[in-house]
Structure 1
Amino acid sequence: MRVLVYPHDLSIGGSQLNAIQLAAAVRDRGHAVVVYGQPGPLVGEVAAAGLELIPSPDVHVRPTPGVVRDLARVLTERRIDIAHGYEWPPSLEALLACRVAHTGRAVSTVLSMSVAPFLPRYLPLGVGTEQIREAEREHGRPAVELLEPPVDVAANAPGAVPVAAFAREHGIEPGIFTVSIVSRLAREMKLEGILTAMDAVELLHREAPIQLVIAGGGPAETEVRAHAAAVNGIAGERIVVCTGELTDPRPVYALADVGIGMGGSALRSMAFGVPLIVQGERGFWRTLSAATVEDFLWQGWYGVGPGSGGAAERLAACLRELRDDRGVREVLGRFARRTVESRFSVSRVAERQIAFYERAIAAPPRTSWRESLDAGFGLFAYHAQRALASRTGPAPSEDFNSRPVAAERGAAAGARER
């Protein structure tokens, strides 16, 4: 097969890294693969993977007509069989380009916490959790499959990366109980938990030495750094370290005694054989164990809690249990590593992705003018709502991550119980 992979962009993010990793894995299995998209910080990752990058024109309102025309040209010149868009803007542009070029099949992967309702239902779709797959099937989408985030279990493994020089560079104290967070610093989904984690570490610092290392950049970086400075001021020493955005955050995972995370970052933390506390919203904190893993395999590495009240104390209790019992940490760390190896390795996910491509090619072409019109009206409404929202405040920067399926279903379940 000749495959074009089109990430959302080439800035640092979980969906983009997944797209590059899987593109290389599919190439390694004998297929011709190119990457298309806006150049950004991950250009080096594309080059390091030995993949060709075809730069796209500048994007504007999505889908961008200039991008669609250029992408159609590439599909024709390269005789592409599969145009694979990651997240909704590249997915729509890939679908439109296939129609303009009269060649190739468009497929989509959405690793956000919900799927844009204006993606046409006839577009073959891969999603990251069982719960989202079920929700999309309930909404009438016939071709939706589970394509969970992959992890390179060789590059992300205990002992895979040195940490001493990195720790010295960032002033991370050796021998102190260390908690790590690797995350995009976004206001939606992420910020609440990151601020709470700092407060929890400040509580635990009163009992014994502890430090929290936060790696990442994004629109909420100013708030994160300000809160870190305030917590460090209360503690009287530097117990929160903010590294900023890192092209390679593996040392942060590797030096941790406990990882905190959600989504793909949670999986990469698990690959390093350290215990994981899953971060969610509304005060959700839960330690990964044999008793909780099935919930996460269903709903994803995320959850919705009872509210922000007492959230720092709840997280502090989870961390205290792990801090005080090395044996528990070792057991849970080994369990985390086994879980990633058995289900989320790049090789396993790549085989599922190739099968996804093959099914898309083999299936009869399917279009529906009604679904296309519904998608067009839905897209127009989406842009109109964002334009209206921007007049009263900033629109959500994380798009459909701000409306997780797990949160909606959790709220619906709570309402039924009441």
Structure 2
Amino acid sequence: MLVYPHDLSIGGSQINAIDLAAAVAEAGHEVIVYGIPGPLVSYIEERGLRYVPARPLKYRPAPSRIVQIAALARSERIDLIHAYEWPTCLDAYYGAGLLLNVPLLCTVLSMQVMPHVPASVPLIMGTSDLAIEARKTHRGQVWVLEPPIDVERDTPLVDGKGFRNRHGVTDNEFLVVTVSRLAIDLKLDALVRAIDAADILAGSYPLRLILLGDGPAREALTTRAAAVNRRHGREIVMLPGADLDPRSAYAAADLVIGMGSSALRALAIARPLIVQGEQAFSEIFEPSTVELFLRQGFYGLADGAAGAGRLAAQMEGLIKDPARRTALGRFGREMVTKRFGLQRAANLQLDIYRQVLTEPPRRRLIEAMRSVRLALMLEIANHDPFQKRAKTSREQEVLATVRSGIWPPVLRD
């Protein structure tokens, strides 16, 4: 088995891929993890998996990686390649898949169906809604496998006292934690609204907010947080950086706000949770919202309303009701253990592997040409100097608003 995460920076999708690879190896299969070197290489080694570094060419698909994967497939006699997201899928498809006929499976955990994956490649989608959407255009098999959580490692027994002591959070302070990449895409709206909600509530409650993570938006978010801290004359918001093992941060929290796998890990550690998304989306995870999140994933889109009043009101309701927080933490742990446990996911994935190996799809040259055309068009656009300048300018405008402006930003055309 060759498992190919889309990168090895710290992130939920990548950790899911590694955890599932380790579970498959524990079931008796030989697993190699292939990927561009990053912080999670140490995690791969910790899980006892063999790692092969990928060539770091930035193009998608990358000719050097297409050749490298094909060579690996031949020398290691790979039975199946499992790629995560469309760029890695194409790297595996055009050499090992198309020329050597090695069975290929692609997992897509991003929040949209990308047309770049060849239509015959079997797909695993992260939510029911995305699977329904994928089946409209995809002729290969499509399964749903929700992000798995290692409920034996992420448990209510994890001790958070050390984390609180390390960051100077006293017992009488209400600690809110977010564990996230500090990225501009997908994450930034939620992160800014978390800081603004803390600002709204800090005058009435002994509130602390810790944003654990790193990324290109960190400097701008730090500036916005510093303004909140100055306004209240004490440290309300902290950004201490990334942590490869954030379990103690979850355990230390009185409340977690987040999305995706981070949200699920918080539930596994029995923390009350507010799920965030983009465009001002936020909802408390509770019995009345379970079906929503099981259908669309732990993420959402709302109306883009100005300000953080919605999130602040949800936070305040939980601050005032410790009994409800305890009940929600217990409910979340039970749900994750039953539905999102790693061993359950590994068994489902092994069954999918057997189906792919039993009925490998017939590939067509026309779909290969269509996928490479779409990928090349995207790469040309991404490397167009005019579009790159426009994107950079837009990102700088957004980050300038993060530093000092009212959110969400009003961007120029």
TM-score normalised to structure 2 length: 0.92
Q: How far did residue 177 of structure 1 move?
A: 0.9
Q: Distance in 2 between matches of 1:396 and 1:267?
A: 32
**Paired position in structure 1 for 2:50:** 52
The 1:88–1:156 alpha-carbon spacing in structure 2 relative to 1, beyond 3 Å, is same
| TM-fit CA distance, 1:135 | 0.4
State which of 264, 268, 276 in structure 1 corresponds to 2:265. Answer: 268
Residue deviations 1:375-407, cap 9 Å, x none?
12211221233234213223999xxxxxxxxxx
Matched, 1:339 2:335: yes
Deviates more, 1:41-50 or 1:91-100: 91-100
Return the alpha-carbon distance in structure 2 between the equivalents of residues 343 and 164 of structure 1: 29
Alignment correspondent of 1:125: 123
Matched, 1:295 2:296: no
Q: Whole-Å Cα distance in 2 between the matches of residues 391 and 214 of structure 1?
A: 30
Q: Find the aligned partners of 1:60 and 1:316 in 2 and give their Cα distance.
A: 40
Counterpart-to-counterpart distance in 1, 2:331 and 2:393: 40
For structure 2, which runs of at least 5 residues remain unmatched after alignment?
Answer: 396-413
1:382 and 2:382 are equivalent in the alignment = no
The residue number in structure 1 matching 2:399 is none
Supply the RMSD in Å over aligned alpha carbons.
Answer: 1.6
Partner of 2:305: 308
- Aligned equivalent of 2:407: none
1:75-224 to 2 correspondences below 5 Å: 75-99=73-97, 102-160=100-158, 162-224=159-221
- In structure 1, the residue matched to 2:8 is 10
- Say which is worse superposed, 334-343 or 387-396, in terms of deviation: 387-396
Kept after mapping to 2: 8 A contact 1:72/1:100: no
C-alpha separation in 1, matches of 2:200 and 2:234 = 14
Aligned-residue identity in percent:
41
Would the aligned equivalents of 1:46 and 1:52 in 2 still touch at CA under 8 Å?
yes
Residue deviations 1:275-333, cap 9 Å, x none? 110101111111011111101100111111122324x1111111111111111111111
1:78 positional shift: 1.1
**Residue among 334, 357, 361 paired with 1:361:** 357
Contact 2:172 2:206 in 1 (8 A): no
In structure 1, the partner of 2:223 is: 226
Show the counterpart of 1:40: 38
> Quick one: distance in 2 between partners of 1:152 and 1:46?
15
Of 310, 315, 318, the residue aligned with 1:322 is 318
Q: Post-superposition shift, 1:101?
A: 5.6
- Report the equivalent of 1:348: 344
User: TM-score by structure 1 length?
Assistant: 0.91
Q: Secondary structure at the match of 1:394?
A: helix
Tell whether the 8 Å contact from 2:120 to 2:138 is kept in structure 1 after alignment: no
The size of the alignment, in residue pairs, is: 393
Asked if the contact 1:148–1:344 (Cα under 8 Å) also holds between the matched residues in 2, the reply is yes
The Cα offsets for residues 60-96 of structure 1, whole Å up to 9 and x where unpaired, read as 3121111111111111111111111111111111112
Equivalent in the alignment of 2:237: 240
Task: Provide the rounded CA distance (Å) in 2 between the counterparts of 1:175 and 1:74.
Answer: 56
Judge conservation of contact 2:121–2:140 (CA < 8 Å) in 1: no
- Secondary structure of the residue that 1:392 maps to in structure 2? helix
| Structure 1 residues 23 and 396: CA distance shift in structure 2, 3 A | farther
Distance 2:393 2:11 in 1: 19
Supply the AA of the counterpart residue of 1:189. L
